[in-house]
Structure 1
Amino acid sequence: MISIQQKHQLPVPSGLLQVSRLPQSFSMDGSAASTSSLVFPIYFSLIIPTFNERDSIEKMVAQLSQILDEVLPNDYELLIVDDNSPDRTWEYAQHLTDQYPNLQVMRRQQERGLSTAVIRGWQAARGEVVGVIDADLQHPPEVLLKLLEKIDRGADLAVASRHVEGGGVSSWSATRRILSRGAQLLGLMILPRVLSSVSDPMSGYFLVKRQAIAEIPLNPVGYKILLEVIGRGNIRQIAEVGYVFQEREVGESKVTWRQYKDYLHHLVRLRVDSGRLGHWGKQINFPVGRFIRFAFVGLSGLLVDMALLYFFYAILSFGLTRSAIFAGELAIVNNFLWNDRWTFKDLAQKQFGRQQTLKRFLKFNIICLMGLILKILLLNLLFNGFHLNAYLANFLAIAIVTVWNFWINLKLNWRVTQVN
């Protein structure tokens, strides 16, 4: 007998964060299926990402269902995507599926984050139009009708905005208003094409036609999924609808300083990917953004190496050779830690345990040693063979070895060799 925990619980998609196109009918697991087990597309799928929203979720589902039952009877679905909430939001939501037949629940236990939760929901969705709304009742459900109307009139993307006629915030502090506007101005400087296309680029309440984002690899950071949709999607026409952002009725706000850091990181990533470097990287299948992070880490390692060389040699009087060995190895440790936690963080998280981390560290040491030998060979070739200036030859050798170190680490060290 199927338990309430299993009933209406969607399997969590895996692999690339990429939304497929909808065929006439399909099997949810992608396998061959009989006619009786095929799933047929519908018009609208609304994703509700949750984390500790048990106290508000029933009211939210009730309001959404009442609105959509009137305008899209049996042609919509609500998908709650819960990040394994400690308050067991996912379990409580599953108890609501008998009362609300258009409701389904997905429980994620391996991944975290609002943006990826939304995309995983879209991957499992059956709608020709997909959307997202917060579960905390800060996004008024009735605005959905206006957003759907904009889509029906030809918009590829319909955004609920706090900064157009009819929009606003209920009782934000002056500090929060300044931070919000400051973040938007910063975005305009870094990524003007994306940020200038809508009045509220940080909105988390919008609908988009599936065909506008289908078959496009998405790579979001943090909470601002709308940036990813505009920056990477095939969006031709955008419409906006004003709404007043409400204060939470229950629970606590999830706005933290980390969200602002993730926002900045996302802007820079989109800027790189959408610029000439990103275009060049796509042409030769080279991960430019990841390489830039690797290069920054290498620069930090150079600073660590120079500072420690001075410390060991000038202050502790260890001798030049021994000081250089100590400084070089500690710089390698610095580089490994930053690369493991930043450059290759997504890949490192799929290789669990201290033993796997130690293996990556030992491989990183070996690759760096090989890189040092390669650098010396290149330096001599460029200086003695091509008679380049010594400093130019050294710079070119470092540049070539940096690319080599990155590529070898990506392919041999941080690659996922085992899926648990």
Structure 2
Amino acid sequence: MAQRGDTLRRIALQYGVAHAALVAVNPQRGESEPLVQGELVHIPVRLPRRYVVQQGDTTESLAAKLGCGEARLRELNACLTEGQPEAGQVLEVPGPHADRIVQVEAEYGPAQTAADLQRLKRAFPFITVTTIGRSVMGKPIYAARIGEGAFRWQVNAACHANEWITSALLMRFLEDYGRACRRRGAIGGKDAAALFRKCTLWAVPMLNPDGVELVQEGAPPSHPFYRELNAWNRGSASYRRWKANVRGVDLNDQFPAHWEEERQRRRIHEPGPRDYGGSAPLTEPEARAIADFTEMMDFHAVLALHTQGEEIYWNYRGCEPPEARHWADRLGHASGYRPVELTGSDAGFKDWFIERYRRPGFTVEAGFGHNPLAPESFDDVYDEWLRLMTEALDLPS
């Protein structure tokens, strides 16, 4: 029976079954429709994945071959607790990424972000977490710090609600960076300890938690904004196309950088799924939180992570510093994304930062497809993002 916050993908992850198999045994419902609390969902039988040990296999080589951790492999197979496997033994194989903190087989929302930040703190004591503000509905907006360098980077994600996969991209990077620092190894081909000493990274993984929750779970009648949201969404129960916060304000049109010009260009003067910049700049608590945090920390550079398009925007009305284009080229070379000199766009976070501080600011459009990008695309997009982020940390001289 579906509980509050459940989705088909989250149920599939919980029961260890394939999402496609769960959809197949529940043909009565549309995949994109939010589950109703109390709705019955049929769970297919889970068939364990098994492996026959080959000559020369070791626990270490099996973990690498099967894409899992040694500890989890031993946990599932008692025969491995006292020594090495023997040829012919049949082993149960953990699911993919079983040893990961940040799991992305299902929708990644505010609850997952909050829980994983605590797990990251426990696993890597050099990661600190703070709250920089609260959303319209009172959800905390977190920032995580890693590194001790003089150069201060800020990276934020999930400004747009249906781009929630960006939160998972940023959180997975924190996990991998933490692991690399702990083992004194490399990340993205670069020495993690050297990056740690060079830069202090502040990551804001989910700027718009109310909007993300709305996209993933819908708005039941008990939602405090149910009537308004239903009207703004034209009666549709699906919020997959929703980018704004829960008050129908697009947070990336909320910043005081030629805000009025953007408002006139958009010609949208009431709340809705996207492109409404509010009645004035910084009216929304999420936009105010990131602006106040940016002013307080006096960052040397910022990066706003969005989806999709595989592009890097690096300029704003000629206010960007001389090194901005060169940095964008380096980020593009590392990731395969295309640096774009953008015109005809105002009031975004990157725009405001560049105009106010005359320092490097970037918007990265990760991945390619239609928002929200499916979790199945995560691994491919993450490979690009990992290379881009490690290059970003290596940019300062």
TM-score band, normalised by the shorter chain?
under 0.3
With structure 2 as the length reference, what TM-score do the two structures score?
A: 0.25
With structure 1 as the length reference, what TM-score do the two structures score?
A: 0.24
Task: Select the structure that is richer in helix.
Answer: 1
